[in-house]
């Protein structure tokens, strides 16, 4: 049977450059490796075929000879300087080193790092903190209680009773890894005896049961700066879970949620306050007193003839920007309120007022004039 074209084997075109060839080989090698295809009897042969093709195409001189003479370049000493695939197996270790880490990175976690897992950093923790809008305005000092894992005081974090030192794991000799032969490779895996620690505790601490850590609630004082918003994250370095076997502690991340306010609505550094006013006040104008987020009061003048939705700005009465980059404004929005449950006399007065105010409603007059023109055009 004729030998398959090397470019076809790797799934690349004849004009592919070195980077494309290498990428295609990596993909093929991971796809066809025998350890990943135990149910495919042809996987090993296809894997060797891909390796043979890459061994030739990755070398510029061999590739040039193959492009000119095809497979004949490596038969009977013709071209290639006798450096062909050597019976289809080639320099397997050299070729496959390009994808070794891709295939076994998840099992080995890198090479040559024996025992490095002995000290492990503690986990980071998250704490969700809800604050009032007025507290977000002024800033505050807040004491929180966080459930966490702290270093065991009885064994000083070693996990061994009486403060004795853990012993070197006999299975991995303290490396935290064990090696196993798989076909062409020697593969490292996490030691099953010590779970990668490199050490074992023969006499576990009775308090922490050999873990070196105990569960405990910890009280912390947190500074909440003025101007925080929902989603603001505060990091407390080293206040997370204690590390394993002397490793550093993780961090504590506090995520802020600012509660909705019954009076103010926030948009960044600006505040909005919707204030109801009577028809008379909106028509005649006047003054109203409004609250501010700092607990104070401000008087706002309502212009004569104000409509619902009109806004007035109070400069500097909004929220402070986080880290002191200025202060926002407060916007007062008028909501002209229609009176309800009128007495007979009030109805009488309103009817009389309505009769006398046809020329005092410019928006209404304009709207109905447009409606009349629309209907007249439809009739035409």
How far apart are alpha carbons 354 and 351 in whole angstroms?
Answer: 5
Q: What DSSP character marks residue 82?
A: G
Tell me the C-alpha distance between 171 and 90, whole Å.
Answer: 35
Structure tokens at 61: 């001189």
User: Which element (helix H / strand E) includes 101?
Assistant: helix 92-108
The answer on whether 273 is annotated among ligand-binding residues is no
Beta strand 270-278 with 264-267 is antiparallel
Of the candidates 203, 216, 205, 204, which has an alpha carbon nearest to the alpha carbon of residue 154? 205
DSSP state of 159: -
> How far apart are the C-alpha atoms of 291 and 261, rounded to whole Å?
13
DSSP-derived secondary structure letter, 218? E
- Cα distance between residue 370 and residue 355, in whole Å: 21
Among candidates 148, 146, 152, which has minimal Cα distance to 208?
152
Q: Would you list which residues are annotated within the binding site for Zn(2+)?
A: 152, 155, 169, 172, 191, 194, 205, 208
List, as residue ranges, the binding site. 152, 155, 169, 172, 191, 194, 205, 208
């Amino acid at each position: 049977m004729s030998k398959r074209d090397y470019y076809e084997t790797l799934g690349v075109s004849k004009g592919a450059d070195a980077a494309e060839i290498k990428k295609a080989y990596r993909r093929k090698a991971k796809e066809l490796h025998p350890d990943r295809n135990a149910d495919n009897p042809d996987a090993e042969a296809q894997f060797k075929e891909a390796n043979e093709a890459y061994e030739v195409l990755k070398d510029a001189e061999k590739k040039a000879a193959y492009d000119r003479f095809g497979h004949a370049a490596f038969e009977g000493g013709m071209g290639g300087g006798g450096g062909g695939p050597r019976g289809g197996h080639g320099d397997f270790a050299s070729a496959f080193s390009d994808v070794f880490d891709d295939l076994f990175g998840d099992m080995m976690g890198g090479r040559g790092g024996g025992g490095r897992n002995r000290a492990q950093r503690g986990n980071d923790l998250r704490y969700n903190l809800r604050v009032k809008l007025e507290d977000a305005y002024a800033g505050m000092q807040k004491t929180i209680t966080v459930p966490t894992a702290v270093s065991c005081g009885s064994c000083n974090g070693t996990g061994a009773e009486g403060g004795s030192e853990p012993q070197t794991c006999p299975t991995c000799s303290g490396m935290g890894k064990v090696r196993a032969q798989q076909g062409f490779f020697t593969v490292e895996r996490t030691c099953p005896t010590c779970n990668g620690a490199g050490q074992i505790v023969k006499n576990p601490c009775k308090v922490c049961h050999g873990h070196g850590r105990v569960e405990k609630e910890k009280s912390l004082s947190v500074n909440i700066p003025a101007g925080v918003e929902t989603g603001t994250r505060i990091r407390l370095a080293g206040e997370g879970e204690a590390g394993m076997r002397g490793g550093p502690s993780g961090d504590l991340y506090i995520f802020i949620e600012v509660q909705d306010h019954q009076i103010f609505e926030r948009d960044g550094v600006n505040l909005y306050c919707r204030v109801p006013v009577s028809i008379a006040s909106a028509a005649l104008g006047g003054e109203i007193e409004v609250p501010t987020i700092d607990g104070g009061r401000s008087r706002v003048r309502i212009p004569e003839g104000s409509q619902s939705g009109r806004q007035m700005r109070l400069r500097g009465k909004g929220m402070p920007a986080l880290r002191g980059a200025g202060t926002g404004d407060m916007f007062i929005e008028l909501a002209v309120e229609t009176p309800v449950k009128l007495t007979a006399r009030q109805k009488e007065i309103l009817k009389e007022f309505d009769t006398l105010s046809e020329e005092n409603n410019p928006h209404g007059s304009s709207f109905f004039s447009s409606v009349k023109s629309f209907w007249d055009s439809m009739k035409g």
